[in-house]
Structure 1
Amino acid sequence: FSAQKGKCAISGEEFEDAEHVAVWLKVPGSLGGFERYKNMVLIHKKYLILLQELPQAAIKDLIKTLNITKKMLVKINSLREQANLSAII
């Protein structure tokens, strides 16, 4: 938590409380990743949906709803690619 200065790895916004924090494994266990510090990032729970396998049309709608910027999309795509998911176009 302190390494990220209490901020979301995707948006940079500060977490208001622990209820909004989700731990994301950059490389999931199914791909050989471990629950170790260097493989974990903290993100706001509202962005978890963007790190799942969904149709591009559904993802595009979520991007608009969540006001995802280009900078945030680069971070999301980096996390998706590490999890062996296709990048959002």
Structure 2
Amino acid sequence: DNRISLFSAQWGKCAVTGQAFECVEDIHCHHKLPWGKGGTDKFKNLILVLKPIHKLIHATTIETINGYLKALNLKESQLAKVNELRKAAELEPIDSYNLKHI
């Protein structure tokens, strides 16, 4: 299974934050190119991320995005990774400065 291989390749850590997964429920498998856009379950199209990171990648409302940003307290480099994944999913990037001032 590609997910097991990913876990090993990522050293058991989230691809965005680098935080170690503490339990199975923390692990979410994200398709870089979504199913609906022609994505597959192939290894190169998958990454493992923490559940709240996965929710943030797919979030579409300002309230939800702000909630996850506050909870996660991401560094600029981590937010850049989230935005790369959002772009691949054809979602708007998150501008942390503008969101904090709404």
Q: Is TM-score (shorter-chain normalized) higher than 0.5?
A: yes
Give the root-mean-square deviation of aligned CA atoms.
1.3
2:34 to 28, 31, 49: 28
**Amino acid aligned to 1:76:** V
* SS of 2:49 mapped into structure 1: strand
Is 1:12 aligned to 2:18, yes or no? yes
Alignment of 1:4-83 (within 5 A): 4-83=10-89
> How far apart in 2 are the matches of 1:48 and 1:16?
16
Number of residue pairs the alignment of both structures matches:
89
Identity of aligned residues (%): 37
Which structure 1 residue ranges, 5 or more long, are not aligned? none
**Amino acid aligned to 1:8:** C
Which structure 2 residue ranges, 5 or more long, are not aligned? 1-6, 96-102
Greater share of helix residues, 1 or 2? 2
- TM-score by length of structure 2 reads 0.80
Deviation at 1:60, TM superposition (A): 2.6
Deviation at 1:58, TM superposition (A): 3.4
- TM-score by length of structure 1 reads 0.90
* SS of 1:27 mapped into structure 2: coil
**Amino acid aligned to 1:78:** E
Q: Which has the larger radius of gyration?
A: 2
